Chains A and B, each alone.
Chain A
Amino acid sequence: MSQAFTKSMARNIFYGGSMFFFLLLLVLTFDTVKSLPQTDNRENLTAQVAKGKHVWENNNCIGCHTLMGEGAYFAPELGNAYKRMGSKEAIIAFIKFRPKNGIPGRRSMPQFNLTDDELDAVAEFLKYVSEINNQNWPPNIQG
């Protein structure tokens, strides 16, 4: 084969190409962070919402549910739970009255023994998430 194929050229392409596309990723990331206020519903990000996010995290909700499609696929999508269930009260009631020992033969959400304030916070968090503009995902209310 008369075609040259050298290690140094391959190396240059690896370093040059990777740097190039890494910088491009940084540029696009920068643009995204700058334009997030238009979509991420930050005007409604209250202290209670922030607290709700910690309740969400501290109880590992992502271990069963998805939130905007990310997480585990064992239990329903919750990014639109506020819209699906209709109100904060419905969400709070659902979490609050989970049977401690589950339901025979079926999947059941554990009883997390949340305080009333924590329940309110996590419901507030889910309401906030449901109002994020995420390009109309999921396709319908069933998530």
Chain B
Amino acid sequence: MKMNKLTKVIKYPPGDLAIWIFIMAELLVFGLFFATYAVTRIDNIELFEQYQQTLDTTAALWNTLALISSSYFVIRSVLAVNANQQPQAYRFMLLAMLAGLVFVVIKTNEFAVHMDHGITLSTNTFYMFYLSLAFFHYLHVILGMIVLLVLARNLKRGQYTVTDSSGLESGASYWHMVDLVWLILFPLVYVM
């Protein structure tokens, strides 16, 4: 894999092709879910609007900020590696994980509140979609956190360099996907 030059070869898309196949598949699943949500909402507009009121928009807003900042820190981490500043890259990766952790904590709390109210996937169509989408995304955040953890470990070991950062870029791309999905999920399910 190592190339014999010190300058970065810009390739597009960044990272490994395999991760992009995975990202495309994930986006397709979420896309289908969003589309069916939108279509079902048209048929049940009153039900959806009524129960959307029960969601905690403030918490979701904080979560949006958490994921956006997390994505930003991941970018900074990649850029730091490209600038040959591995220790800084590692610190940014820790910050990214911290922001991700904020999301997980807030979201877990939201789910706990719903569970206290006895709300399940079978409560009604709105909650079916809300819980399915939110929980499916939540699991992706957790998977993404595991990916970030591996990236942080590898950064600490200095495995990523200017010329060899494909693994880092792959993980970063995946994390951006998780972020991107939330940026659609948030307005679609909480706000609109």
Contact = CB atoms under 8 A, between A and B. Distances in A.
A9 B136 contact: no
A38 B139 CA distance: 27
Given A24-B136, A31-B121, A2 B9 contact: yes
Contact of A6 (B16, B21, B22, B121): B16
A81 B122 CA distance: 28
B100 interface: no
Interface in B1-29: 1, 9, 11, 13, 15-19, 21-22
Nearest to B136: A24
B11 A17 contact: no
Interface in A6-45: 6, 9-10, 13, 16-17, 20, 23-24, 31, 35, 38
Interface string B138-153: 0100010000000000
Contacts of B15: 4
Contacts of A38: 122
B11 A5 contact: no
A29 to B, nearest CB: 12
A115 interface: no
Interface string B153-178: 00000000000001100100000000
B36 interface: no
B143 A9 contact: no
Interface residues of B, number: 20
Nearest to B132: A28
B166 A6 contact: yes
B40 interface: no
A10 B143 contact: no
Contacts of A23: 139
B6 to A, nearest CB: 17
A9 B120 contact: no
Residue picked from A2, A3, A9, most chain B C-beta under 10 Å: A9
B121 A4 contact: no
- Dominant SS among interface residues on chain B: helix
A5 B147 CA distance: 18
A31 to B, nearest CB: 6
B2 to A, nearest CB: 12
Nearest to A24: B139
B170 A9 contact: yes
B19 A13 contact: yes
Interface string A30-62: 010001001000000000000000000000000
Contact of A4 (B17, B122, B136): B17
Contact of B1 (A4, A10, A16, A31): A4
Given A20-B143, A24-B139, A35-B122, A9 B11 contact: no
Interface of B: 1, 9, 11, 13, 15-19, 21-22, 120-122, 136, 139, 143, 166-167, 170
20 contacts: A3-B11, A3-B17, A4-B1, A4-B11, A4-B15, A4-B16, A5-B17, A6-B16, A6-B166, A9-B18, A9-B166, A9-B167, A13-B19, A13-B21, A16-B143, A24-B136, A24-B139, A31-B120, A35-B120, A38-B122
